[in-house]
Structure 1
Amino acid sequence: MKEALEALGYEVFPIEGGWAAEKRRGGLVHQVFLSQEGEVRLRKKRFLSEESRPLALAGVEGTWSRVLESEENFFAVVGPQDLPALVLAFEPGLYPKLLPRPPLACFKSSWVTS
């Protein structure tokens, strides 16, 4: 499985009980955590904004900062043959198309605005 992740452009490194892999693109980080039993966690972190400025707090000069980010996760147990497709499906622009949309009847009418 390590070779499959490297072929997809991920940097792979061992962790206790399995492997971790990471691919960075600008403000987006894709991570894969894989146990020896085949348990997979896919994580996507998107850094939305970052700001900082000098600030005095209780008379102490310092720097205030804020980072806004979003995080998405997907958990599954997969075999080695399914890992590459699963990882690619979780990357941007692909996986929402794979999930079926529920019928509008599943939502309260007050939730549907159009």
Structure 2
Amino acid sequence: MHIFHIHYRNTQGTLMRIINAASRRALDLPYVKAEANANGHQATLLLEVTPKQIGQLRRDWYAIVDVTEVQVSIAEFETGLGVPHPPISAGDESVRSATA
């Protein structure tokens, strides 16, 4: 899994063009986060891709006028990024017995 950080200027349709570059390739998007940062906006995507797809995605994203930077890193699942967490009470037997 790879984490992509795409920095962009927030103009109409930019975020959709960023996401469409991945969805056109039928890639699963298990984690997507868009947020404002100091110099504009940032989209963070978690994708399972090959080295060839990384190059294609970077090329497509840099072709978008409002994209200013693309960073790629390998996901470390110890950080918990993109990994779903069960509800706090999922493993708590005392909560289950109290509600029964």
TM-score by length of 2: 0.28
Q: Which has the larger radius of gyration?
A: 1
TM-score by length of 1: 0.26
Report which structure shows greater RCO (CA 8 Å, sep ≥6).
2
